[in-house]
Every structure is written in structure tokens, then in C-alpha cells.
Chains A and B, each alone.
Chain A
């Protein structure tokens, strides 16, 4: 069927606007990347618009010499791995019983969980509980108080219910499987895609979070990467790093370069993986939205 002139015009305008949006989203990202590998002098003079100028990796050198960043990186990896493991196990433990029709009380439990999405005790009472449990200034304050996300339980429960036929479970039961064995031998092997999605969701959350660490941690040696980043990027605390520079303006200049480099270093793992994993993220989002 031929398109009318109006439709063709529409397509052109539509694509044009999208290209503009594309540029707006992409430009800051490309600029940061370029600035991070350019000569800081050129950047501060405003000679850099898009592509790198006088390539220099000095910023990265300074970043990798910085102890706080390296320790923060290590801490973040540790917290992300342990936190994600707890998250995924808890999500499965909740989602499996809730997905079964013969689990009496599942509606009550579901309502109880969903209610916490809309109402909470607030920052202070939660803080006092964590203090009372002796979790202050320990890794556990970062991984236990958000051990599971209701939204992800919903996604997983839906997946269990829609994608593993109940007959398969019944057949396993007739063959003598207990409920736990059904979970381990039938449900989980059939649910690997959704488990991958959950792992990604939780992992990115842990990687990017700073709030719990800000509130619960006081010991600098335990700070995750994001808290270190906050000091460098937002509070401008990097006197030691720009140390060798002689004048104040030079310090500011090198400081800027360190900032650019730090942004790249912090997001590298996520952005390197992102193109390959995008499909899974989107699938996870869509299951949650459409079938929730």
C-alpha cells in the first residue's frame, strides 16, 4: 500500500526528532569519554567539542594510583557479589511458594509485601532497628536491609506461574519429588533466563547505590566506590590526587581531568556489558510491567 505524502512527511519529521534526541543523550557521554583522554589544558581552554585532543592518559594514571578508589572498587565488588547472591536466593524463596495454587495464605502474604511498597516506617525507625541489630558500620547493613525487592518477587512469581506448566510439577510429584526437590530440579533449571535477569537487576542496584553506605558506614576503609566518587565528583576532595600540580589553576585543571576519568572507570563494567545484556534487562522490565 502506497504511503501518502503526509505519511512520508511524518516519517521524516519523526526520524529527525529522534536523531536530535539521540544526539542529546549521546553528546554528554561522548564528551566525558573524550575529555577523559585529552590534554586537560585543551579541555579547560574550551578547545574540546566532541573528539579527544592531544591524547593523554594522565587522568587515568592518577585514578589508578589512588588508594581510596581501588579499595572502594574492591568493596563494591564484594558487596555486589554477596548482596546479589542473598537477593536472588530470597527472591526465589518467596516467589516459588507464592506461585503455587496450593499454598494457602499466599494472598495475605502478597498483600503484606506489596503494602511495604507504598508505606514504610521511614528513615529514622529503620536506622534505629539496624543500630539495635548491631549492623552499623558493617557490610551487613548494606546487604541485609534490602535483601529482596517486592517488585522482583512479583516478576519471578509471574514467570514461575506462566512458564512452568503446573502439570510438569505434578508429574514430578508423582515421581516422588518433594516440594523442595521440585524447586531445585524442575523450577530452577526451567527458569534460568529470569534468574539471569534478576541477577543483573540486583547487581546494578548494588553497584550504583550509595545511600545505605552513606547512612550506615563510618569507616572509610569500608566505603564502596560510589561514596568515594561522591567525594571526588561532588565534594571536590582530591587535593592529594592533584598533588603534584604547582598552582591553584593547574590543580583545578587536573582535578577536572581526574573527574572525567573517574566517571569512565566507575561505569566501565556496566557499560561494557550493557550492549550484550540489554535484551535481558528489557525482558525483565516488560514481564514486570505487562504481567504484574
Chain B
């Protein structure tokens, strides 16, 4: 199985996006550059033809919208189109920064993002380390199969299950609370519960799936290291601490960078579904606000400005974390 071969690849090579930035030193003679280019074209025109639809896709659905971000600095008038609308400078940004929603969105988005990072990031690592220690093959397989499964539930169904289980009075969770003499709690409408529900249901759903990457990295650890450590009398805990964890640190760092970079991009899909009028004060995040004010409220320019702001912050975060990681540990995306 060729894929098996891949699994054994050096964990060091896990630098996830490294390839994209590797430049090759193609030193061609530049005296007959045109002839070389011509020859290259004759040999390879098919490749360019093949990739054209993909390039067109990226230009139309990714780069033109990036260009279209200029409506954040304009007053969008539908009849004049994006390019024809008049410039208004930072008007929409000013309005957003001074609005009541600004701090609420920052607080909620950052709050959920950091909470998720703090809880959701370490759990899959721990799970992978634990699964890796299991000796019984059948048990190991069972744990993996079961913990991966919730990943395949759709967001709608995931939130649906939350709603069913947490309904006041009839939901199973509240029935348990009442069985122990407590009072039923309206989880879904209580603002204070939103962040925890969001984060822990995410952990429940994704911990197994996220652990796959670490398990792959763990399977690449050189067994000789363990042999040597055992001869020296290291216990299993010591071997995990001094061998397994250091070996997967590069993977951890890369994923940490990626996760930190998306702290402000708390997904629209789940937050939107878990949202209701009662918990809005703690569940409103950038994406849902953009949807409400932009698509439902038709304030295109204003909400494009809000979206642009959160994108910029995200991007700056990613670049910063990547820079720090490179400086401190020598691991980075680029």
C-alpha cells in the first residue's frame, strides 16, 4: 500500500505548507530565453490548458471578491455596481468602531476563540497520546472508530442534538438534573452557557478526528528510542514525556499556528444555529453579525467593512504567531 509508506515519513517533514514557498533554483541560460520559453510552451501547453479552469475559478470566486472588498470604503449603490459607487473613505469603519456592537463582537469572538483554543487544542493531543499507549488491537480500533464518528454529523444535526438534549423539562439533561433534585436550566437561551456549550460540543465532535494527525506523527517515532529508554529504566510515563511528546512537537506547533490564526474566525455555521434572541448578547460573533446586517439588513458596504476588519485581524494574528514560532522554535508555516 503506497499510502503506508507515506505514514512512515519523517515527522520533521510535517511542515504543512512548506512546499509552497520552496523556490527552486532553475538556472537557465538567459542568452536564448525566448527560444527556451517557446520550447517550454510547445512541450507544456497542455498542462496550462488543464489548469485554466482552476485558475479561472480562483480568480472569479476568490480574487475578484478580494478586489470587491473596496465596497467597504464606498457607499454601495446597486445600479452603479461595485466599481461605480462613490468612495467614502473610512466612514463605515468609523461607524463600526463607535457602535455598541464593536466591543460585544470582539469580546464574544475572541472569548469563544480563546476558550476553544485553550480547551479544544490540548484534548486531541492527550487523546492521541493515550490511544497510542493502548496495547490491545481491538480496543484501540474501537476507541478510534467511535471517537472519529461524531465528526461526520452535520452542524445542523449536532446543534439539533444539543437542542433536544438540553430542552427544559423534557430534555434528558434536565431530567437528570431534576432527578437529583435540581431545577431545570434553560441552557440554550441562557447567555452564560453559550460559550461552554459551543466549545464542549465542539470537543465532543472533533477530538477524535483531530487526534488522527498526532497519531500519525506518533507512529513515526523511532522505536529504537523507546528501546534505549527502556534499557535505561524509563517508565512508560517518562517515555511519553521525554520521547513521544518531543517527537510530535513540530506537528503541535504547526497546528497551533493554524488554530491561533483562526481565533477570530469563529465559524458562522455553528454559532448561527445555536443563536437565538435570548442568548444573542454572548453568541453574536463577527460572521453572524455580518450575515445579519449585510445579507438580511442589506447594508452591504457596512457589513463588508466589518468582515474586512475581522479578516485583517485574523491575518495579522496568523503572521504574528508564525513569526514568533519561527523565532522561538524554528518551526513555522513559512
Contacts and interface: CB of A to CB of B under 8 A. Distances in A.
Interface of A: 1, 4, 6-7, 10-11, 14-15, 17-18, 21-22, 24-26, 28-29, 31-32, 44, 46, 90, 93-94, 96-98, 100, 102-104, 107, 109-114, 116, 118-129, 133, 144-145, 147-148, 153-154, 158, 162-163, 178-180, 183, 193, 204, 207-211, 215, 226, 229-230, 232-234, 252-253, 256, 259-260, 262-263, 266-267, 270-271, 274-275, 278, 281-283, 285-287, 289-292
A107 B160 contact: no
Contact of A22 (B68, B147, B291): B147
A104 B156 CA distance: 44
Interface in B1-40: 2-3, 5-7, 9, 11, 13-14, 16-17, 19-24, 40
B294 A210 contact: no
A234 B159 CA distance: 7
A226 B154 contact: yes
Of B14, B58, B318, most A-chain CB atoms within 10 Å:
B58
Nearest to B142: A22
20 contacts: A6-B236, A10-B235, A10-B236, A21-B127, A22-B142, A93-B50, A98-B51, A109-B55, A118-B261, A122-B65, A122-B290, A122-B304, A122-B308, A128-B82, A148-B57, A226-B154, A259-B164, A263-B157, A263-B160, A292-B16
A46 B167 CA distance: 13
B300 A128 contact: yes
B308 A289 contact: no
B149 A229 contact: no
Contacts of B100: none
A289 B148 CA distance: 16
Given A25-B149, A107-B24, A179-B44, 10 more contacts: A10-B133, A122-B290, A124-B295, A129-B61, A162-B2, A233-B163, A234-B156, A286-B212, A289-B213, A292-B19
Given A14-B133, A256-B164, A127 B21 contact: no
A263 B155 CA distance: 12
CB-based closest 10 A-B pairs: A121-B65, A233-B160, A125-B68, A122-B307, A208-B154, A125-B65, A179-B46, A97-B47, A124-B304, A46-B175
B14 A290 contact: yes
Contact of B164 (A260, A267, A289): A260
Contacts of B143: 18, 21-22
A216 to B, nearest CB: 10
A120 B66 contact: yes
B54 A289 contact: no
A197 to B, nearest CB: 9
B204 interface: yes
B327 interface: no
A90 B58 CA distance: 11
A205 B16 CA distance: 22
B149 A286 contact: no
Interface of B: 2-3, 5-7, 9, 11, 13-14, 16-17, 19-24, 40, 43-44, 46-48, 50-51, 53-55, 57-58, 60-69, 71, 82, 127, 130-131, 133-135, 139, 142-143, 145-150, 152-157, 159-161, 163-165, 167, 170, 172, 175, 179, 204, 208-209, 212-213, 216-217, 220, 230, 235-237, 251, 261, 268-269, 273, 287, 290-291, 294-295, 300, 303-304, 307-308, 311, 314-315, 318
A55 B47 CA distance: 60
B51 A26 contact: no
Contacts of A10: 133, 235-237
A285 B135 contact: no
A267 to B, nearest CB: 6
Given A111-B21, A252-B170, A229 B160 contact: yes
B122 to A, nearest CB: 14
The residue among B55, B157, B220 with the most chain A CB atoms within 10 A of its own CB is B157
A81 to B, nearest CB: 17
A97 B82 contact: no
Nearest to A4: B235
A125 B139 contact: no
A222 to B, nearest CB: 17
B172 A278 contact: no
A290 B13 contact: yes
